[in-house]
């Protein structure tokens, strides 16, 4: 499936792009959002794009053909401040964090992200790291598997799935995605299997664990806000409730709302207003977009402005 950037019009609108501004795309992917940002920058504008996937960086290098306005950085976005300091940038006008897994990663069986296609158990966004899905599935204890599948997949059958995995690997190593899918399916009745793919939540959990996605998100948000100039914008696209809760909670914590117990006579928490949130609710893709791009259906866009 062709990769279609999610909520492209909304993202570029809410970033409020200044032609000579400095913008960060924390998740370059196939550069759909980056290309649209560049269209709005003049010769003095700058775009710095991060991705931990070497394939994404290499494709972007060819696509942008040495455009002097863009700098590509092969790194996890949780190193945002350090990497920007290395190139002499300490203030930015806007930042985009699109947490969706890119379609080429999902659709390439060799990457091991898909529960619909046969491939080696991998799921690494950064192919240079050691930890992969194979190691987790074949070496983690039953208790740890159950804990992470429940925590990161919100899978109510986590304990049963973890048991089935550890029993199966006693016979032989679990090497491929579809081998794992067949094991997971045994935890569900035929009727339950009709309610969405039975492996979806487990695969989400393993992917999040392999790539430490939630930890990286928690680390990048304060860095991004710290780098923003006054009136700078941060836009975050999330695709499941775990991500969205983190973003919602962090944004709220920066709005200056007092966290003192209601019986305190005066405020002692010292909360300061750092962000304003233009809408109390997230933005959603249009029905038209969801019809064209089904992978956008779970997207939520949260936007905040630096005070």
What pLDDT sits at residue 265? Answer: 84
Mean pLDDT of the chain: 95
Give the global pTM. 0.91
What pLDDT sits at residue 34? Answer: 97
CA pair distance 54, 72, nearest whole angstrom: 11
Tell me, yes or no, whether 87 lies in a domain: yes
What's the mean pLDDT in 26-44?
Answer: 96
The 10s digit of each residue's pLDDT in 211-231 is 999 999 999 999 999 999 999
Q: What is the DSSP string of 156-185?
A: TTHHHHHHHHHHHHHHS---BHHHHHHHHH
What pLDDT sits at residue 65? Answer: 87
Tell me, yes or no, whether 3 lies in a domain: no
Domain co-membership, 133 together with 274:
no
Domain co-membership, 156 together with 246:
no
Range of the domain at 238: 8-98+215-306
Domain co-membership, 291 together with 219:
yes
What pLDDT sits at residue 2? Answer: 61
Domain CATH for 300: 3.40.50.150
**Neighbour order of strands in the sheet with 275-276:** 70-74, 46-51, 22-25, 92-98, 228-238, 300-306, 275-276
Domain co-membership, 289 together with 242:
yes
The secondary element (H helix, E strand) that includes residue 98 is strand 92-98
What's the mean pLDDT in 155-170?
Answer: 98
Domain co-membership, 180 together with 44:
no
Tell me, yes or no, whether 234 lies in a domain: yes
Confidence check: pLDDT of 122 > 90: yes
What pLDDT sits at residue 101? Answer: 85
Domain co-membership, 114 together with 207:
yes
Tell me, yes or no, whether 259 lies in a domain: yes
What pLDDT sits at residue 224? Answer: 98
Confidence check: pLDDT of 175 > 90: yes
What pLDDT sits at residue 1? Answer: 52
Pairing between β-strand 22-25 and β-strand 92-98 as defined by DSSP bridges: parallel
Last residue of a domain, which of 196, 211, 226? 211
Domain co-membership, 225 together with 293:
yes
Tell me, yes or no, whether 91 lies in a domain: yes
Domain co-membership, 22 together with 171:
no
Tell me, yes or no, whether 38 lies in a domain: yes
Tell me, yes or no, whether 297 lies in a domain: yes
pLDDT level of residue 267 (50, 70, 90 thresholds):
confident
């Amino acid at each position: 499936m062709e990769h279609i950037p999610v909520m492209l019009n909304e993202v570029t609108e809410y970033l409020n792009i200044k032609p000579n501004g400095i913008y960060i795309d924390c998740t370059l992917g196939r550069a759909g959002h980056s290309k649209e940002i560049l269209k709005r920058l003049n010769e003095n504008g700058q775009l710095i794009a991060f991705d931990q996937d070497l394939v994404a960086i290499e494709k972007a290098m060819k696509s942008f053909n040495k455009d002097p306005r863009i700098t590509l950085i092969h790194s996890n976005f949780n190193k945002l401040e350090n990497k920007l300091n290395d190139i002499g940038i300490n203030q930015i006008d806007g930042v985009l964090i699109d947490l969706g897994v890119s379609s080429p990663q999902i659709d390439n069986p060799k990457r091991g992200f898909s529960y619909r296609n046969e491939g080696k158990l991998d799921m690494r966004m950064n192919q240079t790291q050691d930890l992969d899905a194979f190691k987790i599935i074949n070496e983690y204890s039953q208790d740890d598997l159950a804990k992470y599948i429940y925590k990161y997949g919100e899978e109510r059958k986590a304990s049963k799935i973890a048991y089935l995995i550890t029993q199966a690997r006693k016979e032989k190593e679990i090497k491929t995605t579809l081998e794992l899918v067949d094991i997971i399916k045994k935890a569900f009745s035929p009727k339950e299997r009709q309610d969405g793919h039975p492996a979806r939540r487990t695969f989400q959990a393993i992917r999040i664990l392999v790539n430490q996605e939630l930890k990286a998100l928690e680390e990048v948000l304060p860095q991004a806000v710290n780098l923003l100039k006054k009136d700078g914008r941060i836009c975050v696209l999330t695709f499941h409730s775990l991500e969205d809760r983190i973003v919602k909670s962090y944004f709220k914590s920066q709005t200056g709302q007092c966290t003192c117990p209601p019986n305190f006579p005066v405020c002692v928490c010292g909360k300061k207003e750092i962000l304003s949130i233009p809408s109390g609710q997230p933005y959603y893709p249009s029905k038209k977009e969801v019809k064209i791009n089904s992978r956008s259906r779970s997207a939520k866009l949260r936007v905040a402005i630096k005070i």
